[in-house]
Amino acid sequence: MRSTARRRAGATALALVLTLAAGACSGSDDEPDEPAAAPSSSAPAVPAVETTVVIGKLTGRLPKPERAKVVAAVGAVVDGWTQAAYVGGAYPRRDFADAWPGFTAGARALAKRDRALMSNQDIGHRIDGVELRRSRVVLDVLSVKQRAQAVTARVLVGFRTTGQVERAVRVQGRLYLTHGDGGWQVFGYDMTKGAV
Amino acid sequence: MLRRLVRLGAVALSLLVLAVVVPGSAVKSTEVALVKLDRADGVDVDPNLIWILAVGSDARPGQDMTRTRGDALQLIGMDTRTGAATAIGIPRDSWVPIRGHGYDKINAALFFGGPQLLGEAVGDLVGIQPDYVMVSRFKFFQAMVDDIGGITVRNPVAFSDPNLKPKGFGTGPIRLGGYDAMVYARIRYNLIRGDFDRSANQQRVLRGIQTRVRERAASPGFIDRGVLTAMQHLSTNLSPAELFRLAQAVAHVVPSKITTCVVQGSIGNVGGASVVLPFTAQARSYGDQARKDATIERC
């Protein structure tokens, strides 16, 4: 449990960095893993990682204020998932039933089927902590009539586990979201997970 | 045996030379990493099993394509839980009952009552009512195939058309741009089994499109551009978000889980017009097989 405080500090400091880079893909998925640059103000001893959320490919027109809303709202959904599925919670951990907030009911059922990948269910009981090393989200946005209609979130999360299983893990891929009555929701995914 | 030992010795010597000669090879032991990644994908679309009637309209420029005659009719099912998909081809000249209009060629339903009535006519024949009816015209179809960078189809029999494709299509895997894909799906000039073979060719084109969409789906903005294009050229009342979800469902179909069949029939004559008298039991059998999982075991 030694990393619980670290995780909490990290979670507290997980303010989304809202960077807008409209019209062009910013950043590459091929960049090497490296510790995130922004340290936590609340836990100076342990560098906390901020999730960077940027607009990648924008299809259609979307005013800047609307882009900011999309970045904030979708960034929160993606971050909610990475926290609930990988980074947050009390390890050792066996319960991942709530690992997919922000997913539609159907997508939640699919993710539960793929829980070894879509959460830390595969190693949760053999680790005592997770330290987030990198969290980056690029949003490809489909906009019609100046309103965001659908988003593909390209996600890259890197973390290190401690305990019986000590390894660096990278979760990478795409989440698909549309906007419904409950706000932005993930209805599909295409993800990989592996030790690096 | 001796030769094998010599070969092994040569390989070992080569590796030794590499280890000695390559600078730094003794200290930099991990220049290359091979890591196993687990992959998972899924798309939640309501309903999980989607049925779409894809209609190629023969509307000429200026005509309302939803009130002409459907030239190509394919009932497509996708099971988003498994990635399976199926296409049931309907010969356009199938002589069937059309609600409120007695018997007529099935493609006349589009002229009589638009996409709704055509969907019902096909649904009555197969036993599965489509959730969506999508009507497009040749020009859009052609542009769409060009937009996705062309497709590849595996053509079993060479055929041609003196007007549309004088040089014809050879056998084997062939690459088709927009125009070629359109005429590949339209020609029945010298196809041995006429409309039945043409319907099977349309299914080959659909497979080619799905494969291409799947290949390119990860390219940022690819699906998004497709949705915008579809909104401009398709006759649809779906919202952009619904189109996006459908497009993702298409991209997640597993090519090896696609099955296709064409409803067969006999050739008849009604009032001097050549028609197809469809094997309705067969059509129902396809529907029965595919209803639960979008898979047809036997054509």
Closest to B238 measured CA to CA, from B110, B135, B103, B151: B135
- Is A4's pLDDT higher than 50? no
* B244 contacts A178? CB cut-off 8 A: yes
Tokens of A160: 């290190």
Give the closest-approach CA distance of B20 to chain A in angstroms.
28
- Is B293's pLDDT higher than 60? yes
CB < 8 Å to A85, chain B: none
Least confident window among A35-44, A82-91, A149-158, B272-281: A35-44
- Is B117's pLDDT higher than 60? yes
- Is B47's pLDDT higher than 90? no
Same domain as A65, residue A155: yes
Same domain as A145, residue A63: yes
The pLDDT score that the predictor gives to residue A7 is 42
Closest to A122 measured CA to CA, from A80, A89, A156, A86: A86
- CATH classification for the domain delimited by B2-138+195-290, as one of 3.40.50.300, 3.20.20.80, 1.10.3720.10, 3.30.420.590: 3.30.420.590
- Is A57's pLDDT higher than 60? yes
User: Which pTM was predicted?
Assistant: 0.80
Whether A96 maps to a domain, the answer reads yes
Whether A47 maps to a domain, the answer reads no
The pLDDT score that the predictor gives to residue A16 is 42
Same domain as A96, residue A60: yes
Same domain as A169, residue A90: yes
- Is A110's pLDDT higher than 60? yes
- Is B24's pLDDT higher than 90? no
Residue in chain A lying closest to B252 (CA): A190
The average confidence (pLDDT) of chain B is 88
Q: For the domain that residue A118 is a member of, what is the CATH number? A: 3.10.450.50
Model confidence band, residue B22 (pLDDT cutoffs 50, 70, 90): very low
The pLDDT score that the predictor gives to residue B25 is 43
Exposure string of B213-229, with b = 16+ CB inside 10 Å and e = fewer, is bbeebeebbbbbbbbbe
Domain that holds residue A91: 52-195
How far is Cα B115 from Cα B63, in angstroms, rounded to an integer? 15
Same domain as A77, residue A12: no
Measuring CA to CA, how many Å separate B96 from each of A161, B84, B101?
A: 65, 29, 10
Same domain as A65, residue A135: yes
Please name the member of B37, B239, B241 whose beta carbon is closest to the beta carbon of A194.
B37
Q: What is the mean pLDDT of residues B91-97?
A: 96
Same domain as A149, residue A83: yes
The pLDDT score that the predictor gives to residue B179 is 96
For B235-253, write each residue's pLDDT tens digit: 777 899 999 999 999 999 9
DSSP B257: G
Same domain as A139, residue A70: yes
Give the closest-approach CA distance of A49 to chain B in angstroms.
24
- Is A31's pLDDT higher than 60? no
How far is Cα B205 from Cα B182, in angstroms, rounded to an integer? 9
- Is B193's pLDDT higher than 50? yes
How far is Cα B252 from Cα A174, in angstroms, rounded to an integer? 13
List of residues 6+ apart from A58 with CB closer than 8 A: A22, A23, A67, A140, A141, A143, B221
The pLDDT score that the predictor gives to residue B264 is 98
* A117 contacts B224? CB cut-off 8 A: no
The count of domains in chain A is: 2
Give the closest-approach CA distance of B254 to chain A in angstroms.
13
The average confidence (pLDDT) of chain A is 82
Q: Give the rounded distance of the alpha carbon of A117 from its chain centre.
A: 14
Q: What is the mean pLDDT of residues B132-159?
A: 92
Largest CA distance in chain B: 88
The pLDDT score that the predictor gives to residue B16 is 40
Same domain as A115, residue A20: no
Residue from B244, B246, B253 whose CB has the most chain A CBs within 10 Å, to mutate: B244
**Is the bond preceding residue B47 a cis peptide, omega within 30 degrees?**
yes
- Of these ranges, A39-43, A136-140, B137-141, the one predicted with the greatest mean pLDDT is A136-140
Assess B174–A contact: CB distance below 8 Å, yes or no.
no
The pLDDT score that the predictor gives to residue B60 is 82
Q: What is the mean pLDDT of residues A160-171?
A: 96
The pLDDT score that the predictor gives to residue A10 is 39
Domain boundaries, chain B: 2-138+195-290
Please name the member of A59, A104, A179 whose beta carbon is closest to the beta carbon of B228.
A59
* A113 contacts B42? CB cut-off 8 A: yes
* B40 contacts A149? CB cut-off 8 A: no
Could you please report the per-residue DSSP string of B53-71? EEEEE-PPTTS-GGGS-EE
> Across the A/B interface, how many CB contacts are shorter than 8 Å?
112
Whether A134 maps to a domain, the answer reads yes
The pLDDT score that the predictor gives to residue B4 is 52
The pLDDT score that the predictor gives to residue A182 is 82
Model confidence band, residue B65 (pLDDT cutoffs 50, 70, 90): confident
Same domain as A56, residue A34: no
Assess B254–A contact: CB distance below 8 Å, yes or no.
no
Same domain as A14, residue A104: no
Model confidence band, residue B17 (pLDDT cutoffs 50, 70, 90): very low
How far is Cα A69 from Cα A52, in angstroms, rounded to an integer? 15
How far is Cα A150 from Cα B299, in angstroms, rounded to an integer? 38
- Is A44's pLDDT higher than 60? no
Whether A99 maps to a domain, the answer reads yes
Model confidence band, residue A27 (pLDDT cutoffs 50, 70, 90): very low
Least confident window among A80-89, B59-68, B163-172, B281-290: B59-68
* A25 contacts B43? CB cut-off 8 A: no
Same domain as A76, residue A15: no
**Is the bond preceding residue B130 a cis peptide, omega within 30 degrees?**
no
Q: What is the mean pLDDT of residues B270-274?
A: 91
CB < 8 Å to B240, chain A: 142, 144, 149-150
Residue from B30, B35, B37, B147 whose CB has the most chain A CBs within 10 Å, to mutate: B37
ipTM exceeding cut-off 0.85 for this assembly: no
